[in-house]
Structure 1
Amino acid sequence: MFRIALFGGTFDPFHLAHLRMVEHIWSLQIYDQIIVMPTGPSPHKERRISFAGYRYESARLAVREFEEKVSVSSEEITSRGASYTIFTVKKLRDKFISLCGDAVKIDLLIGSDSLQTVEKWYQADLLLRKVGLLVAVRNKELIKEIRLKADSLRQKYGTEIRLLELEPLTISSTEIRGLLQANESAEHLLPASVSSFLTQNRVYSFVEAMSELSDESWDYLQSLEQIQWPLLDEERRVHVLNVMQYAVELARLHDVDLRKTAIAALLHDIAKYLPLKQQYEYAGDFFEQLNDKIVHAPASANFAREQLNIEDEEIWAAICYHTTSHPQNSDLGKIIYLADKIEYGREYKSLPPIRRMAEKDLDRAMLLCMKEVFVALSRQGFPTHPYSKAHYESIIKKYASDTDTTLQKEDR
């Protein structure tokens, strides 16, 4: 029999207590596979959880030392509609039966507080007859009550239940998010790789700006992330989220529509990993001097329009010209261009001055950013795109001959 321990949770973020639990389960030496499964959009509206790409990556980084013995699954992230445990268990069982051709036993890891309410879960009577339970005892003072509940479930459903009585390691995800939102260290609460990832990418630094999006917009963006998930790799999923959060921050500072900004930023690379032939088909023939490096931009704009019914022209243009910019770019287009180049996952030494300028003046930030792009293209032997050159020159004309002097003063 192939035995699986399924460890589900929001993992917002994955912290040391989560890692300790994985280590303990593995030490039992009774499981062939431990699956860590971040939740998708919750059917219950307790609070807004962070976007799945961030939560998945924090879990993946934390458990990668286990190699193939512990895996992170995106099953619930990509499942459309409500992610109920009974559906997840059925999909996992079917998948592993087809892979190993053997009987599959799945044990769910839950907290002792969830043990008290598990009978209220969707189709709980069926679920409890199909799975075993690993129960992490969080409060040993309640051990008698927990054992009584476990005995009751065993008798009623025949559920195999194991109680895990660990020394308490009290870590609050809320505390971690609060520390990182305030740009303070939470490294004592996180695996080193997760701490580095969250800090570098400023995952929780833009909560205030993102909170200004409506609940409807938030749900819509999460649905777009689900659709986009299989089209991007792990690194690109994080990049588009970084671009989205930083773009929303810039939009808030410059009074640009937050919803449009978030949509354009999230989808700006949606066609990037399609086969090149398909990218050119989506791109069409209107874009001047199209090449393999930039074809994904107009392809992504048209993909969003044709496949996702996003008809807004300003969103389309912002996605279409995010690699080159365009002399007719709106402030939204400038924000997407800038955020793509200077989001915090990028670590070039030239970026901090551009970020500081972007928060004050989009046009001057565009000049600084495009100068850096032109230099990089020249080093690589590529010409400057005519759209980029035209937009740069139009901004220069706007500020006339004192541009360089003013930029130098403001940058200092």
Structure 2
Amino acid sequence: MVCDQFSYFSELAKQKLTAKRFDHCLNVAKTAKSLAEENGVDPQKARLAGLLHDFYKETDSEVFVEMIKNGHYDSDLLSYSRGVWHGLLGADLLKQEYEFYDEEILNAIRYHTITDPRMDQLAKIVFVADYIEPKRNFRQVCLAREIAQENLDAAVLFEIRSSIKYMMIRSARIHPAMLNTYNALYANNSKLHDLIQKLEENWK
């Protein structure tokens, strides 16, 4: 069933997205599958979630604005952009347009940019896979990949921390869900911080 869905949505995504974005989705799907196998999560479900995470990334912003204005959403969402909307609202579009009802996968799509304290293992995997997929080439990605091999939660913590720093440097608004995830799940976990610090020191 999931394999059939992957083939079906692959064809749709290929038509819907630019070649570069589609390639990114395939790479995230492959990375998510690998992380799932390492962390005891259904690899086929992770693969499908990875494929679908950016399914609405190139949707016109006006579609999202109309959803926020006419739906049951916090109007504060209007102060963000498609970078937040394509996951949070894209999951609802996927449900509406394609009658896709797998809540685990939908939540992984919702949380892959802003995170959430309620993230399950699948959502964490998609969040991490999006950050470390093979075509990513920013400065700390090799370190992020190494952390992901050691501990999934440490990878989530490292990537939230890095994302917050990146947004602060650029004076970008940080969605409160990301701060809440950091505070609620990881801020007091010294073992994760110790692991990250150790790998950072080795990486330097």
Same topology, TM > 0.5? yes
> Matched residues in 1 for 2:39 and 2:184: separation?
20
Give the match for residue 270 of structure 1: 55
Give the match for residue 12 of structure 2: 227
Structure 1 gaps of 5+ residues are 1-215
> Matched residues in 2 for 1:403 and 1:359: separation?
13
- 1:329/1:287 CA distance change after superposition, 3 Å: farther
Q: How does 1:375-386 map to 2 (within 5 A)?
A: 375-386=165-176
2:179 to 380, 384, 389: 389
Give the match for residue 342 of structure 1: 132
The 8 Å contact of residues 267 and 300 in structure 1, kept in 2 or not, is answered as no
TM-score, normalised to structure 1's length? 0.45
1:352 aligns with 2:139: no
The 8 Å contact of residues 370 and 392 in structure 1, kept in 2 or not, is answered as yes
Structure 1 or 2: more strand by fraction? 1
- 1:231/1:279 CA distance change after superposition, 3 Å: farther
Q: How does 1:7-406 map to 2 (within 5 A)?
A: 216-282=1-67, 284-286=71-73, 289-290=76-77, 291-292=80-81, 293-397=83-187, 399-400=189-190, 403-406=192-195
Structure 2 gaps of 5+ residues are none
The 8 Å contact of residues 287 and 298 in structure 1, kept in 2 or not, is answered as no
Is the partner of 2:5 in helix, strand or coil?
Answer: helix
Supply the AA of the counterpart residue of 2:12.
I
Supply the AA of the counterpart residue of 1:399.
N
The alignment of Structure 1 onto Structure 2 pairs a total of residues equal to: 196
Give the match for residue 60 of structure 1: none
- 1:264/1:288 CA distance change after superposition, 3 Å: farther
Structure with greater Cα Rg: 1
- 1:226/1:352 CA distance change after superposition, 3 Å: same
Percent of counterpart pairs with the same letter?
A: 27
Deviation string, structure 1 residues 137-196 (Cα, Å, up to 9, x no partner): xxxxxxxxxxxxxxxxxxxxxxxxxxxxxxxxxxxxxxxxxxxxxxxxxxxxxxxxxxxx
Question: How far does residue 365 in structure 1 lie from its aligned partner after superposition?
Answer: 0.7
Deviation string, structure 1 residues 265-289 (Cα, Å, up to 9, x no partner): 1111111222212123456443684
- 1:220/1:309 CA distance change after superposition, 3 Å: same
> Matched residues in 1 for 2:7 and 2:17: separation?
15
Question: How far does residue 342 in structure 1 lie from its aligned partner after superposition?
Answer: 1.6
